[in-house]
Amino acid sequence: MYTFSNRLKIGAIVLMALGILGMGVGFVSVPSTPEEARAMVTAHDDDGHGGTHAEESEHPAAAGEHPDAAEHPAEEAGHAAESEHGASHDEHLMHQLQNRPWSALYVAAFFFFMISLGVLAFYAIQRASQAGWSPLLFRVMEGITSYLVPGGIVIFVIFILSVMHFNHLFLWMDPEVVAEDKLIQGKAGYLNPTFFLIRAAVFLGGWILYREVSRRLSLAQDEAEDNKNFVKNFRWSAGFLVFYLVTESMMSWDWIMSIDPHWFSTLFGWYVFASMMVSGITVIAMVTIYLKSKGYLPDVNDSHIHDLAKFMFGFSIFWTYLWFSQFMLIWYANIPEEVTYFVTRIEDYKLPFFGMVAMNFVFPLLVLMNSDYKRVNWFVIMAGIVILAGHYIDVFNMVMPGTVGDQWFIGIPELGAVCFFAGIFILWVFRSLTKVPLQPKRNPFIEESRHFHY
């Protein structure tokens, strides 16, 4: 049995406290009037951050031609009609600044939720493929997926608040915007608040249901006399994978792609999938290495770590493949309605946009290519930290440009939100790891897994 070390528990609670503080600062320092927003941005630019921002705010008319126009057509259309360009621009600015703490919260909430969902998918694949190496890690994976419940609730609450107009994360939820926007009107059959919430409930419900059923069967298998529970779990996992592939794809349209409601991409679901898969596997590897270093997983050997590191390596490349396929097809064809997505990102998010490619591709490629390095625990941890940071920035890049535009910064609200959710994540995951023995007793493959070596 694993006992939650006090140091880790206190660390997690401190993280949460710091996070609440940071998020609080973020929410308090939001401007409430357009003038205030204007003053904030001017002061901000005087700090020397982003000279281009200042230039744009000086020339609101030029901002009308800015590709951002496609993102917020209603507001931009308002621009053209109004003679007072400046006032409308300041209002736009105010919305962006008001969105910032919410987006920070949402990015972090989604990032940690996505990790546990990725682990759940990986776990289901291991069960459905009857992998012989991984049963030793099933309890670790089940521990990480326990975060689905609190993480899912937080996400759902954020959606309810969005639907109730506490924030402007989703442009299409604002009836005033929709009234002036033909394109969103055309999508209203799918993108309407009620249906959105129902879908989110179905997705979350389905994922959590599988997690709970599979966990129960997995524990029952330990006490059983035969393999009935194992077979049942196999069937549930295979069924879940079908459900997951459909719902994951729709989830990515709903929760992320709809932040830019004028834009669409067909492989977006896969792209988000690759991101969650690689972060999930990375977290499995990191938690496993941590528990092993504390002596709780005596049968886990270097070969298990090697396998996880291979998955980290492979899925990092898979993620890059999808990232590039999405980027290159749109860049190459350069169709205005699609390319705005990347134009805003390259103009306003140059460093995070290309930085994440270095963190998520070049770094793991070079570090995890060598077979010997994949067996060195601190190497895997180091690569894991970079990969996780890279995928946080990936989610950041998916969400932020549509909500805060060029007013982004990774500052107190963002770091606060990450700290807060990291705290809950650690607390919840390690608490659930203490509940059952870390090694399944009579999984049909446990012997093979124990002697696994590569």
Partner 1 sequence: MASKVIHAYFNDDDILMQAVKKVKATKHHIEEVYCPFPVHGLDKAMGLAPTRIAITSFMYGCLGLIVAIVMMNYIMIVDWPQDIGGKPSFSYIENMPAFVPIMFEMTVFFAAHLMVITFYLRSRLWPFKKAENPDVRTTDDHFVMEIEVHGDEKGLMTLLQESGAVEINKVEK
User: Which residues in 361-390 contact partner 1 (CB under 8 A)?
Assistant: 369, 371
At its nearest, how many Å lie between partner 1 and the CB of residue 331? Answer: 5
CA separation for the pair 398, 119 (Å, rounded): 21
State the minimum distance, in angstroms, from the CB of residue 303 to partner 1. 14
As measured in angstroms, the least distance from the Cβ of 313 to partner 1 is 14
* Interacting residues with partner 1 between 121 and 160 (CB under 8 A): none
**Part of the chain binding partner 1 (CB under 8 A), chosen from 45-53, 56-64, 307-315, 327-335:** 327-335
DSSP 267: T
Stretch near partner 1 under the rule CB under 8 A, chosen from 120-128, 169-177, 240-248, 331-339: 331-339
303 in Cβ contact with 348 (< 8 Å): no
Closer Cβ to partner 1, 110 or 313, answer by number:
313
- Pick from 328, 335, 358, 362 the residue near partner 1 by CB under 8 A: 328
Distance CA 131, CA 452 (A): 11
Q: Which stretch binds partner 1 (CB under 8 A): 44-52, 100-108, 111-119, 323-331?
A: 323-331
In the region spanning residues 334 to 363, those forming contacts with partner 1, defined by CB under 8 A, are 334
Stretch that binds partner 1, among 4-12, 203-211, 282-290, 330-338 (CB under 8 A): 330-338
Smallest gap from Cβ 357 to partner 1, in A, equals 12
Which CB atom, from 430 or from 452, has the smaller least distance to partner 1? 452
Q: Does 324 bind partner 1 (CB under 8 A)?
A: yes
209 forms part of the interface with partner 1 (CB under 8 A):
no
Is the Cβ of residue 81 or residue 333 nearer to partner 1 in the bound state?
A: 333
Out of 111, 327, 341, 420, point to the residue binding partner 1 (CB under 8 A): 327
Nearest to partner 1 of 327, 445 (CB atom) = 327
Looking at residues 251 to 310 of the shown chain, list those that interact with partner 1 (rule: CB under 8 A).
Answer: none
Q: Among residues 95 and 345, whose Cβ is nearest to partner 1?
A: 345
Shortest spacing between CB 380 and partner 1, in angstroms: 19
Amino acid code (one letter) for 18 = L
Q: Residues in contact with partner 1, total (CB under 8 A)?
A: 8
Tell me if 391 sits within 8 A of 279, measured CB to CB: yes
Q: Pick from 332, 336, 351, 378: which binds partner 1 (CB under 8 A)?
A: 332
Stretch that binds partner 1, among 105-113, 324-332, 374-382, 425-433 (CB under 8 A): 324-332
Task: Give the residue with the Cβ less far from partner 1, 332 or 378.
Answer: 332
Quote the least distance from Cβ 329 to partner 1, whole Å: 9
Which residue ranges make up the site for partner 1 (CB under 8 A)? 324, 327-328, 331-332, 334, 369, 371
